[in-house]
Amino acid sequence: MLEKFLSYLRVERRYSDHTILAYQNDIATFISFSEIQQDSDFVEVTPSLIRSWMVDLIQSGQVNKTVNRKLSALRSFFHFLRKEAMVVHNPLQKVRGPKNERRLPIFAKESELQAELLDPLFTDDFDGVRDRLMLEMFYQTGIRLSELIGLKIENASSTQIKVLGKRNKERIIPVSSELALQMKTYLQLREMLVAKSTAFFLLKNGNKLYDKFVYRKINHYLGMATSLDKRSPHVLRHTFATHMLNNGAGLETLKDILGHANLSATQVYTHNSFAQLTKVYSHAHPRGR
């Protein structure tokens, strides 16, 4: 039944391969814990059993956010089982996950990402131009790793890019003149490749990028440009959001650009923005010094 559920996610819900693999691993973990041998055993699953699994996950060192993600995957699976008439009730309806820890997003300083400081880090050949553009696109648009890899040539112009986000929701992100110029330079070099792919970003051999390649590149360049311990494409997404708020962007606008489903996901960045305001106040007001 699990394979049928994963097929449903892939075909009908059009989830990404990365998300489907996460669902598969999370549900398989529960099946192993509960010693389910056949599909009919799912009828016997109770809220008490799920809570025991949740406690086992926490005791094994899983953070609350990970536990809640696994519960969400299992909740979707039982919703599917009920739809398929395999179970009568969804036992997850009576289970509440642990409260997520509120951790502030990690971001780079504006001073660390100045163009004149980044320029010497990149070569002028195809690899260097592409890598610089990847870093700039993460920082200037706030797109996710999967969205950058999935970006198509026809969806990128000198004024905007159209990305396919979570739940296959499309959104339009404006492009600065500086970024547009870098895109133009990259595309000129891209035309020299022998490539059939319609993907915007490619490897030098003409193949499409993959997650680990992009992560490794961004980790490398952020390590050279910043003092951050954590260096990833998602850190640049956090950096984009934080710098936007610090420079006057509204939450609703930022929510739309980031592709968040609700405002609560965007509000986490207000903590960093408030910290910036506090710093400015302490330096500017006579009573704050």
144 catalytic, yes or no? yes
The one catalytic residue in 109, 144, 208, 271 is: 144
**Phi (first) and psi of residue 217, to 5 degrees:** -65, -50
Distances (CA, A) of 205 to 114, 125, 191, 195, 198: 31, 14, 12, 8, 14
**How many angstroms separate the CA atoms of 237 and 138, rounded?**
6
Beta bridge partners, 202, equal 208
171 catalytic, yes or no? no
269 catalytic, yes or no? yes
CB 138 within 8 A of CB 231: no
Dig out the tokens for 281 from the structure: 């106040």
Distances (CA, A) of 169 to 142, 147, 257, 265, 280: 16, 11, 12, 16, 37
152 catalytic, yes or no? no
The one catalytic residue in 70, 237, 243, 255 is: 237
Of 227, 267, 228, which Cα lies nearest the Cα of 251? Answer: 267
Length of the chain: 289
CB 143 within 8 A of CB 159: no
The one catalytic residue in 75, 166, 171, 271 is: 166
The per-residue DSSP string of 55-120 comes to HHHHHTT--HHHHHHHHHHHHHHHHHHHHTTS-SS-GGGG--PPPPP--PPP---GGGG-HHHHGG
The one catalytic residue in 15, 186, 221, 269 is: 269
Secondary structure (3-state) at 280? helix
Beta bridge partners, 199, equal 152
234 catalytic, yes or no? yes
The one catalytic residue in 152, 162, 234, 271 is: 234
65 catalytic, yes or no? no
Name the residues annotated as catalytic: 144, 166, 234, 237, 260, 269
